Amino acid sequence: MSQQRRVAIVTGSARGIGAAVAQRLAVDGNAVAVLDLDEAACAGTVDAIKAAGGEAIAVGANVADEESVAAAVEKIATELGAPTILVNNAGIIRDNMLFKMSVDDWDSVLAVHLRGAFLMARACQKHMVDAKFGRIVNLSSTSALGNRGQANYSAAKAGMQGFTKTLAIELGKFGVTANAIAPGFIETDMTAATAARVGVPYEDFKKGAASQIPVNRVGQPEDIAHTASFFASEGAGFVSGQVVYVAGGPKD
Protein backbone atom coordinates (compact mmCIF):
# COMPACT_ATOMS: atom_id res chain seq x y z
CA MET A 1 0.00 0.00 0.00
CA SER A 2 1.10 3.58 -0.59
CA GLN A 3 2.30 5.38 2.51
CA GLN A 4 -0.21 8.11 1.73
CA ARG A 5 -2.93 8.92 -0.78
CA ARG A 6 -1.55 10.38 -3.97
CA VAL A 7 -3.23 11.38 -7.21
CA ALA A 8 -2.30 9.36 -10.28
CA ILE A 9 -3.11 9.96 -13.93
CA VAL A 10 -3.08 7.02 -16.33
CA THR A 11 -3.51 7.96 -19.98
CA GLY A 12 -5.18 5.58 -22.41
CA SER A 13 -6.76 3.75 -19.50
CA ALA A 14 -10.22 2.97 -20.84
CA ARG A 15 -9.09 -0.58 -21.54
CA GLY A 16 -6.11 -2.91 -21.89
CA ILE A 17 -2.81 -2.14 -20.19
CA GLY A 18 -3.93 1.32 -19.10
CA ALA A 19 -7.04 -0.03 -17.37
CA ALA A 20 -5.00 -2.65 -15.52
CA VAL A 21 -2.47 -0.05 -14.40
CA ALA A 22 -5.20 2.33 -13.24
CA GLN A 23 -6.88 -0.40 -11.20
CA ARG A 24 -3.59 -1.50 -9.63
CA LEU A 25 -2.62 2.05 -8.65
CA ALA A 26 -6.04 2.44 -7.02
CA VAL A 27 -5.49 -0.79 -5.06
CA ASP A 28 -2.19 0.72 -3.92
CA GLY A 29 -4.19 3.53 -2.29
CA ASN A 30 -3.99 6.26 -4.91
CA ALA A 31 -6.84 8.32 -6.31
CA VAL A 32 -6.81 7.74 -10.06
CA ALA A 33 -7.76 9.90 -13.02
CA VAL A 34 -8.76 7.49 -15.78
CA LEU A 35 -7.93 9.48 -18.90
CA ASP A 36 -8.76 8.56 -22.47
CA LEU A 37 -9.84 10.25 -25.69
CA ASP A 38 -13.48 9.37 -25.03
CA GLU A 39 -14.55 10.12 -21.47
CA ALA A 40 -17.55 7.81 -21.71
CA ALA A 41 -15.26 4.89 -22.57
CA CYS A 42 -13.55 5.31 -19.19
CA ALA A 43 -16.67 4.31 -17.27
CA GLY A 44 -15.78 0.62 -17.09
CA THR A 45 -12.39 1.27 -15.50
CA VAL A 46 -13.79 3.87 -13.10
CA ASP A 47 -16.61 1.55 -12.07
CA ALA A 48 -14.18 -1.31 -11.46
CA ILE A 49 -12.01 0.90 -9.25
CA LYS A 50 -14.98 2.17 -7.25
CA ALA A 51 -16.43 -1.32 -6.89
CA ALA A 52 -13.17 -2.38 -5.26
CA GLY A 53 -13.36 0.54 -2.83
CA GLY A 54 -11.07 2.91 -4.71
CA GLU A 55 -11.36 6.52 -5.81
CA ALA A 56 -11.42 7.47 -9.48
CA ILE A 57 -12.80 9.93 -12.02
CA ALA A 58 -13.12 9.73 -15.79
CA VAL A 59 -11.42 12.41 -17.88
CA GLY A 60 -11.71 12.87 -21.62
CA ALA A 61 -8.70 14.41 -23.32
CA ASN A 62 -6.62 14.31 -26.47
CA VAL A 63 -3.07 13.92 -25.17
CA ALA A 64 -1.64 15.26 -28.43
CA ASP A 65 -3.47 18.58 -28.01
CA GLU A 66 -1.89 21.19 -25.74
CA GLU A 67 -5.11 22.90 -24.67
CA SER A 68 -6.88 19.60 -24.05
CA VAL A 69 -4.03 18.41 -21.82
CA ALA A 70 -3.94 21.66 -19.85
CA ALA A 71 -7.69 21.53 -19.24
CA ALA A 72 -7.56 17.87 -18.22
CA VAL A 73 -4.74 18.34 -15.71
CA GLU A 74 -6.48 21.38 -14.24
CA LYS A 75 -9.72 19.41 -13.85
CA ILE A 76 -7.86 16.58 -12.14
CA ALA A 77 -6.02 18.93 -9.78
CA THR A 78 -9.32 20.58 -8.84
CA GLU A 79 -11.39 17.42 -8.39
CA LEU A 80 -8.84 14.96 -6.97
CA GLY A 81 -5.80 17.00 -5.98
CA ALA A 82 -2.39 17.75 -7.44
CA PRO A 83 -1.27 14.83 -9.63
CA THR A 84 2.12 13.44 -8.59
CA ILE A 85 2.00 10.09 -10.42
CA LEU A 86 1.77 10.03 -14.20
CA VAL A 87 1.64 6.95 -16.39
CA ASN A 88 1.96 7.81 -20.08
CA ASN A 89 0.29 4.81 -21.66
CA ALA A 90 -1.87 6.34 -24.42
CA GLY A 91 -0.95 4.98 -27.83
CA ILE A 92 -2.18 4.01 -31.26
CA ILE A 93 -0.85 1.86 -34.08
CA ARG A 94 -0.92 2.63 -37.79
CA ASP A 95 1.21 -0.27 -39.01
CA ASN A 96 2.49 -0.55 -42.55
CA MET A 97 5.64 -1.19 -44.48
CA LEU A 98 7.70 1.93 -45.07
CA PHE A 99 6.85 2.24 -48.78
CA LYS A 100 3.13 2.09 -47.95
CA MET A 101 3.18 4.29 -44.84
CA SER A 102 1.51 7.67 -45.24
CA VAL A 103 2.72 10.88 -43.65
CA ASP A 104 -0.51 10.98 -41.65
CA ASP A 105 0.19 7.48 -40.29
CA TRP A 106 3.66 8.58 -39.24
CA ASP A 107 2.53 11.87 -37.70
CA SER A 108 -0.45 10.39 -35.86
CA VAL A 109 1.60 7.74 -34.08
CA LEU A 110 4.41 10.11 -33.12
CA ALA A 111 1.88 12.67 -31.92
CA VAL A 112 -0.03 10.39 -29.57
CA HIS A 113 3.00 8.61 -28.13
CA LEU A 114 5.74 11.20 -27.96
CA ARG A 115 3.98 14.57 -28.15
CA GLY A 116 1.35 13.20 -25.76
CA ALA A 117 3.92 12.06 -23.22
CA PHE A 118 5.73 15.39 -23.49
CA LEU A 119 2.58 17.47 -23.00
CA MET A 120 1.34 15.37 -20.08
CA ALA A 121 4.73 15.34 -18.34
CA ARG A 122 5.18 19.08 -18.80
CA ALA A 123 1.72 19.80 -17.40
CA CYS A 124 2.18 17.52 -14.38
CA GLN A 125 5.79 18.23 -13.45
CA LYS A 126 4.98 21.56 -11.78
CA HIS A 127 2.67 19.76 -9.36
CA MET A 128 5.36 17.17 -8.69
CA VAL A 129 8.06 19.79 -8.14
CA ASP A 130 5.82 21.70 -5.72
CA ALA A 131 5.14 18.47 -3.81
CA LYS A 132 8.82 17.47 -3.89
CA PHE A 133 7.60 14.05 -5.04
CA GLY A 134 6.81 12.68 -8.45
CA ARG A 135 6.69 9.46 -10.40
CA ILE A 136 6.57 9.41 -14.19
CA VAL A 137 6.17 6.03 -15.88
CA ASN A 138 6.35 5.95 -19.67
CA LEU A 139 5.26 2.99 -21.79
CA SER A 140 7.86 1.99 -24.36
CA SER A 141 7.84 -1.39 -26.14
CA THR A 142 10.11 -4.15 -27.35
CA SER A 143 9.32 -2.64 -30.76
CA ALA A 144 11.80 0.09 -29.80
CA LEU A 145 14.43 -2.45 -30.87
CA GLY A 146 12.91 -2.54 -34.36
CA ASN A 147 9.90 -4.36 -35.75
CA ARG A 148 8.88 -5.03 -39.33
CA GLY A 149 5.93 -2.90 -40.44
CA GLN A 150 6.21 -0.53 -37.49
CA ALA A 151 8.67 2.19 -38.46
CA ASN A 152 6.45 4.84 -36.86
CA TYR A 153 5.63 2.88 -33.70
CA SER A 154 9.24 1.70 -33.25
CA ALA A 155 10.54 5.25 -33.62
CA ALA A 156 8.01 6.53 -31.09
CA LYS A 157 8.77 3.82 -28.55
CA ALA A 158 12.54 4.27 -28.91
CA GLY A 159 12.02 7.99 -28.49
CA MET A 160 10.10 7.33 -25.30
CA GLN A 161 13.22 5.79 -23.78
CA GLY A 162 15.38 8.82 -24.53
CA PHE A 163 12.62 11.09 -23.24
CA THR A 164 12.44 9.08 -20.02
CA LYS A 165 16.17 9.24 -19.38
CA THR A 166 16.22 12.99 -19.96
CA LEU A 167 13.32 13.56 -17.56
CA ALA A 168 15.18 11.53 -14.94
CA ILE A 169 18.22 13.81 -15.30
CA GLU A 170 16.26 17.08 -15.28
CA LEU A 171 13.74 16.31 -12.53
CA GLY A 172 15.68 14.10 -10.15
CA LYS A 173 16.75 16.92 -7.85
CA PHE A 174 13.10 17.74 -7.22
CA GLY A 175 12.26 14.27 -5.93
CA VAL A 176 10.79 13.19 -9.26
CA THR A 177 11.74 9.89 -10.89
CA ALA A 178 11.09 8.81 -14.48
CA ASN A 179 11.21 5.24 -15.71
CA ALA A 180 9.97 3.31 -18.71
CA ILE A 181 8.35 -0.07 -19.16
CA ALA A 182 8.89 -1.87 -22.46
CA PRO A 183 6.26 -4.60 -22.77
CA GLY A 184 6.72 -7.60 -24.98
CA PHE A 185 3.71 -9.47 -26.36
CA ILE A 186 0.73 -8.52 -24.18
CA GLU A 187 -2.75 -9.88 -24.84
CA THR A 188 -4.68 -6.71 -25.74
CA ASP A 189 -6.84 -5.25 -28.48
CA MET A 190 -3.66 -3.83 -30.01
CA THR A 191 -1.98 -7.21 -30.49
CA ALA A 192 -5.28 -8.58 -31.77
CA ALA A 193 -5.25 -5.82 -34.38
CA THR A 194 -1.71 -6.77 -35.36
CA ALA A 195 -2.79 -10.37 -35.87
CA ALA A 196 -5.63 -9.20 -38.06
CA ARG A 197 -3.26 -7.04 -40.09
CA VAL A 198 -0.99 -9.98 -40.89
CA GLY A 199 -3.95 -12.30 -41.49
CA VAL A 200 -3.35 -14.80 -38.69
CA PRO A 201 -6.10 -16.03 -36.30
CA TYR A 202 -5.44 -14.44 -32.91
CA GLU A 203 -5.22 -17.72 -31.00
CA ASP A 204 -2.62 -19.00 -33.46
CA PHE A 205 -0.83 -15.66 -33.26
CA LYS A 206 -0.63 -15.91 -29.46
CA LYS A 207 0.56 -19.52 -29.56
CA GLY A 208 3.29 -18.61 -32.02
CA ALA A 209 4.41 -15.72 -29.84
CA ALA A 210 4.39 -17.82 -26.66
CA SER A 211 6.61 -20.43 -28.28
CA GLN A 212 9.32 -17.78 -28.69
CA ILE A 213 9.07 -16.45 -25.13
CA PRO A 214 11.24 -18.10 -22.44
CA VAL A 215 8.44 -18.22 -19.85
CA ASN A 216 6.29 -19.94 -22.50
CA ARG A 217 3.27 -17.65 -22.34
CA VAL A 218 2.16 -14.26 -23.61
CA GLY A 219 1.88 -11.39 -21.19
CA GLN A 220 -1.26 -9.99 -19.58
CA PRO A 221 -2.02 -6.34 -18.80
CA GLU A 222 -1.60 -7.15 -15.11
CA ASP A 223 2.05 -8.05 -15.75
CA ILE A 224 2.66 -4.44 -16.77
CA ALA A 225 0.54 -3.11 -13.91
CA HIS A 226 2.76 -4.85 -11.34
CA THR A 227 5.85 -3.10 -12.72
CA ALA A 228 4.10 0.26 -12.93
CA SER A 229 3.04 -0.15 -9.30
CA PHE A 230 6.67 -0.54 -8.24
CA PHE A 231 7.89 2.45 -10.25
CA ALA A 232 5.09 4.60 -8.81
CA SER A 233 5.78 3.59 -5.23
CA GLU A 234 7.55 5.65 -2.63
CA GLY A 235 10.04 2.82 -2.22
CA ALA A 236 11.30 3.26 -5.80
CA GLY A 237 12.78 6.68 -5.13
CA PHE A 238 16.33 5.60 -5.97
CA VAL A 239 15.34 4.00 -9.29
CA SER A 240 15.22 6.48 -12.15
CA GLY A 241 16.02 6.68 -15.84
CA GLN A 242 15.59 2.93 -16.24
CA VAL A 243 13.93 0.89 -18.97
CA VAL A 244 12.57 -2.49 -17.90
CA TYR A 245 11.64 -4.98 -20.59
CA VAL A 246 8.61 -6.87 -19.28
CA ALA A 247 8.69 -9.49 -22.00
CA GLY A 248 9.02 -12.92 -20.41
CA GLY A 249 12.73 -13.08 -21.18
CA PRO A 250 15.82 -11.00 -21.93
CA LYS A 251 15.89 -8.37 -24.67
CA ASP A 252 18.97 -6.63 -26.04
Q: What is the rounded distance in angstroms from the CA atom of residue 74 to the CA atom of residue 219?
A: 35
Determine the residue type at 4.
Q
Q: What is the DSSP secondary structure assignment for residue 236, as one 8-state letter?
A: G
State the amino acid at position 155 in one-letter form. Answer: A
What lies within 8 Å, CB to CB, of 251 at 6+ separation is 142, 145, 182, 184, 245
Active site residue 245: no
Determine which one of 106, 118, 133, 153 is catalytic.
153
- Alpha helices for the chain (secondary structure H): 16-27, 43-51, 66-79, 103-110, 116-131, 151-171, 189-198, 202-210, 221-232
| Active site amino acids | 153
